[in-house]
Amino acid sequence: MEAAVEMKGISHWFGKVQVIHDVDLSVEKGEIFGLLGPSGSGKTTLVKMMTGLLRPSKGVVQLNGEKMPSLKQLRQFGFMAQSDALYSELTGRENLDFFASLYGMSRKDRHLRMNHVLDMVDLTAYASRPVNTYSGGMKRRLSLAASLIHEPELIILDEPTVGIDPVLRQSIWSELNRLRNHGVTIIVTTHVMDEAEKCGHLALLRDGRMMAEDIPSQLKSKLGVSSIEEVFLHYGGGARA
């Protein structure tokens, strides 16, 4: 089966500084793929390449077998950026409506999907309030809802649970699992070790290098350790000066 996302031989320089070093990565359809790495390791940079916002200095990115950037593939995924990309003067519903209209959804579809995703992130009661009255967690949830609005078959989430309390984090993860069960492919970046355990596949990133990539249980058993944290320390512990 063709991979949802395929990155081959990716290197990237910002000016003279190389921030990504020869990364290969392949995300199968229907899995939750985690990109784990500390802050500054290059997660956002890789995500931007997947979404076509950044062209790698070297290497090829493909979505569903098509080279990025491509307007057709831009329709296929939902994206939740690391920062809440919302219009603060507009209400939650108006934000969703705007993003939905970019995908050419009919008025009726937009209406149905808006109600659905608002319900999903538990914001129905706040939908007609302007976003600048939202708490940080509510904005995160609205961003998530916006990335799901057009029922994409692939969603790319850049640190979706940062700044969200544990209860809500739990509910977001159960939502991601539910989507996965419906065949949606999910790519999620995180720097939180215990979240990594929840991913079907895990790539460990450090200083722009991919150190290991496997099923979490395999990563652990190969080294005979009991947590992803230990795995991470094993691969990257000594690397940082």
Partner 1 sequence: MNTAAVVKRILKQFHRDKRSVALMVAAPLLVLTLMWLVLDTETSAVKLAAVDVPAQVVESIETEGITVTVMDEAEAEEKLNEAEIGGVLQWEDGAPFVILEGSDPNTSGTIRSTLQKQLSEQNASMEWEYWNGSSELGLFDYVGPALIGFFVFFFVFIVGGVSFLRERTQGTLERLLASPVRRSEIVFGYLGGFGLFTVVQSIIIAAYSIYVLDVFMAGNFLYVLLVTILMALTALSLGTLVSTFAGNEFQMIQFIPLVIVPQVFFSGLFPTEGLAEWVQVVGNLMPLTYGAEALRDIMLRGSSFESFQVEVYILLGFTTLFTVLNIAALKKHRPL
Ligand X SMILES: Nc1ncnc2c1ncn2[C@@H]1O[C@H](COP(=O)(O)OP(=O)(O)O)[C@@H](O)[C@H]1O
Q: Where does this chain bind partner 1 (CB under 8 A)?
A: 51-55, 69-72, 74-75, 77, 79, 81, 83-90, 94, 98-99, 101-104, 130, 146
Subset of residues 163 to 192 that bind ligand X, contact rule: CB under 6 A: none
Residue 49 CB, shortest distance to Mg ion, in Å, is 13
Q: Choosing among partner 1, Mg ion, ligand X, none, which partner's interface includes residue 37 (Cβ < 5 to 8 Å by kind)?
A: ligand X
Q: Choosing among Mg ion, ligand X, partner 1, none, which partner's interface includes residue 2 (Cβ < 5 to 8 Å by kind)?
A: none
In the block, which residue shows the tokens 């209400």?
A: 91
Peptide bond into 69 cis (omega under 30): yes
Choosing from 39, 71, 108, 125, the residue that interacts with ligand X (CB under 6 A) is 39
In the block, which residue shows the tokens 């999620």?
A: 188
The yes or no reply on residue 45 touching ligand X (CB under 6 A) is: yes
Nearer to Mg ion, 127 or 199 (CB): 199
Q: Please give the full DSSP string across 108-171, using - where no structure is assigned.
A: HHHHHHHHHHHHHTT-GGGTTSBGGGS-HHHHHHHHHHHHHTT--SEEEEESTTTT--HHHHHH
The C-alpha angle 144, 148, 151, rounded to 5 degrees, equals 170
d(CA 80, CA 117): 14
Q: How are beta strands 185-190 and 32-36 bridged, if at all?
A: parallel
The yes or no reply on residue 19 touching ligand X (CB under 6 A) is: yes
Nearer to Mg ion, 26 or 82 (CB): 82
The yes or no reply on residue 44 touching Mg ion (CB under 5 A) is: yes
Binding-site ranges for ligand X (CB under 6 A): 14, 19, 37, 39-45
